[in-house]
Structure 1
Amino acid sequence: MQRYNTKQIKVGKVAIGGDAPISVQSMTFSKTRDVKATLEQIQRLYFAGCDIVRCAVFNKEDITGLEQIKKESPLPIVADIHFNYAYALAVAKFVDAIRINPGNIGGKDRIKAVVEACKEHSIPIRIGVNSGSLEEQFEKAHGRSVKGMVESALYNIRLLEEFDFTDIAVSLKSSDVPKTMEAYRALRPLVDYPFHLGVTEAGTTFHATIKSAIALGGLLLEGIGDTMRVSITGELEEEIKVAKAILQDTGRQKSGLNIISCPTCGRLQSDLMKAIKIVEEKTKHITMPLNVSVMGCVVNAIGEAKGADVAIAFGKGNGLVMRNGEVVAKLKESELVDRFLAELEDEIKLRQSK
């Protein structure tokens, strides 16, 4: 699957663009001046598998807090700046990147000042264009449209380039899925900077998951995207979980299990839901990319199981455990999951030893 070739930048030690893996980002929702709470959230994100974290800077106390947070954070820190460009100048000394929304940070002189600070400390800038906060000239000319978003991005890219700055990433976010996708598609052929993908204000877990799967997953399948955030209201670990799933199911990242299970129907002759819950819980630590199958009836079970690395094929009161297409055990239903897990761990050890 071909991916657009983009310029590579670095946020701390994390490479973005070029041939670098697509990184997953999130953002703390605590007040950044609350160092303890913010660090706790960053730790949660780190253990969930996040690559980069963004923290809001709204006042001088946030600047002080962020400096302390940076010293203890296990993740690279992006400072999120709105309205007050002076905050960007202050934090550029110690953070790993700056995110600005050019539509609300002020005039050309202020953007130039931010650029000079970032150049001095060798950190990149993410230009964050949102359909809801375009510069007045673009909203007046084009409304909150894709055209307005793209024109805003191009204007601000050229502005940074005018100041001889090219360590840039770009995002074009809208709460509208088709508009988000169209904006990224429209800008992609025009610049070679890496793209940060996201749907802004996506909502709670259910709605944000659907919107992000469509928009981010669709763009990734088209080869567009270098880093991403799934924005979910108040759900840190869930953001990372959904993002990782999108990366895996689009084929952009091979990590962890791809669990294949059949839809529930009247043909079930086993407690498939119980088995799946146990399998998901007992295997969530696994990072090796493997296909596993847990199928609940004889109609599709054997065929799917033959194509999996390790599988359960349930029958009536009993079933088969299969490995690489071969039957390794025929057992009672109550014994199948334990044997499946044992075979899975053995398969992992075998592959690790090669």
Structure 2
Amino acid sequence: MNIDQVRPWRAIERRKSRKIKMGDLEIGGDAPISVQSMTNTPTQDAGATIDQIRRLEDAGADIVRVSCPDEDSTAALKEIVKASKVPIVADIHFHYKRGIEAAKAGAACLRINPGNIGSADRVREVVQAAKDYGCCIRIGVNGGSLERHLLEKYGEPCPEAMVESALDHARILEDHDFREYKISVKASDVFLTVAAYQGLAEATDAPLHLGVTEAGPLRTGGIKSAIGMGNLLWAGIGDTIRVSLSADPVEEIKVGFDMLKSLNLRTRGVNIIACPSCARQGFDVIKTVETLEQRLEHIRESITLSIIGCVVNGPGEAAGTDLGFTGGGKDAGMMYVGGKPDHKLSNADMVEHIVEQVEKRAEYLRGLEKA
């Protein structure tokens, strides 16, 4: 039985968007919400860029975006696309010819900013290249680079201006019989971002790519993104996401998946439920959780793990997780399996034992998938 039928207050009804293809990946409709990041290596250095894409793939990235600021970058893109296991989005600004070159190089998607790519004729040429080479397009509206006539009309970046920009450029694609597109309306201001996406969600059935642009450092940027994107995702809005952080791109993937996991929209990896610790803790909760998080990064299967310092909340939390450990004093605690107390375990042995139990659980789940 679907858990949402038992607990309807957990249900999120996703907005009904049309489905498009990005290489072999589906975006929109009933497809899983995809998580993407962007490389920050010089794109013309194909080896370094491919190495970073590998790290992003290992972290779970569904899509990777690569900036293409010059001809050397689009020249390297062919090798990068060939080496990548996930669809590559070519990020295009100012130079429409880079979009055409990227399409020829095998990019699965072209990200264009309508405010700076140039005239309608130039956009038309990029659209034709996308049609010729099987690319989809992301219309990327940004609060910091809106068209001059919209800024004159509205006086400043605002939700109405961003939605109008997006729909104007979607109309250009539609006029050229091109519907394989998704749209983003990003701003660094959380309020502006959320309001723009809410307006856009009502105005189109196109898939939406979510993001709070230039969100900032890992901690504060993650919080801003979680507030803005979390509100939208909870309301059912969003088909693909990027958490824009001034941090290692791999962290963007981790935060993105954690965001989706908290809303039950994706379930990749180990979800650790842990207490903040207090004087009642029977072991060092913070250090243990930090170690387990690192040791279990390689697990891709969906597993819930509770790590609670004492018996006040430990048994109750463990009852709702696949595996759990609750501190009980005297340098030992109770290991829970399938929500039930299973065996006692010493604090000294618990990290290695828990890792072993999680890996066994992951192996069991992989077997079920193959069966």
**Normalised TM-score (structure 1):** 0.95
Which range is displaced more, 317-326 or 124-133?
Answer: 317-326
Residue 164 (structure 1) aligned with residue 177 (structure 2): yes
Per the alignment, do residues 27 and 350 of structure 1 end up closer, same or farther by CA in structure 2, a change over 3 Å counting?
closer
Residue 71 (structure 1) aligned with residue 85 (structure 2): no
Matches within 5 A, 1:180-199: 180-199=193-212
Deviation at 1:337, TM superposition (A): 3.6
Match of 1:241 in 2: 254
Match of 2:91 in 1: 80
Match of 1:319 in 2: 333
Match of 1:55 in 2: 66
Cα distance in 2, alignment partners of residues 177 and 214 from structure 1: 8
Matches within 5 A, 1:82-161: 82-93=93-104, 94-142=106-154, 143-161=156-174
CA deviations 1:4-30 (Å, max 9, x no partner) are 111111111111111111111111112
Match of 2:17 in 1: 6
**Normalised TM-score (structure 2):** 0.91
Partner of residue 320 from structure 2, selected from 304, 307, 322: 307
Contact 2:273 2:304 in 1 (8 A): yes
Cα distance in 2, alignment partners of residues 267 and 109 from structure 1: 69
Contact 1:200 1:231 in 2 (8 A): yes
Deviation at 1:339, TM superposition (A): 3.7
Partner of residue 37 from structure 2, selected from 26, 39, 43: 26
Contact 1:32 1:38 in 2 (8 A): yes
Contact 2:301 2:365 in 1 (8 A): no
Deviation at 1:141, TM superposition (A): 0.9
CA deviations 1:60-94 (Å, max 9, x no partner) are 22221222322322222211111111221222222
Per the alignment, do residues 321 and 95 of structure 1 end up closer, same or farther by CA in structure 2, a change over 3 Å counting?
same
Contact 1:88 1:114 in 2 (8 A): yes
Contact 2:310 2:328 in 1 (8 A): yes
CA-based RMSD of the aligned residues comes to 1.7
CA deviations 1:155-190 (Å, max 9, x no partner) are 111121111111110000000111111111111011
CA deviations 1:304-349 (Å, max 9, x no partner) are 2222221111011221111123221123332334443444344444
Contact 1:320 1:329 in 2 (8 A): yes
Report the count of equivalent residues: 354
Deviation at 1:251, TM superposition (A): 0.9
CA deviations 1:187-246 (Å, max 9, x no partner) are 101101101111111112112211111112221111111111111124111111111111
Residue 36 (structure 1) aligned with residue 50 (structure 2): no
Match of 2:278 in 1: 265
Cα distance in 1, alignment partners of residues 79 and 357 from structure 2: 46
Contact 1:323 1:343 in 2 (8 A): no
Match of 1:253 in 2: 266
For 1:47, the aligned partner's letter is D
Cα distance in 1, alignment partners of residues 177 and 236 from structure 2: 28
Partner SS state of residue 132, structure 1: coil
Contact 1:257 1:288 in 2 (8 A): yes
Deviation at 1:353, TM superposition (A): 4.8
Gaps of 5+ in 1: none
Cα distance in 1, alignment partners of residues 300 and 103 from structure 2: 35
Cα distance in 2, alignment partners of residues 352 and 13 from structure 1: 23
Deviation at 1:145, TM superposition (A): 0.8
Match of 2:216 in 1: 203
Contact 2:183 2:206 in 1 (8 A): yes
Which range is displaced more, 31-40 or 242-251?
Answer: 31-40
Cα distance in 2, alignment partners of residues 124 and 58 from structure 1: 19
Contact 2:276 2:285 in 1 (8 A): no
Partner SS state of residue 116, structure 2: helix
Cα distance in 2, alignment partners of residues 6 and 265 from structure 1: 46
Cα distance in 2, alignment partners of residues 332 and 311 from structure 1: 14
Which range is displaced more, 264-273 or 218-227?
Answer: 264-273
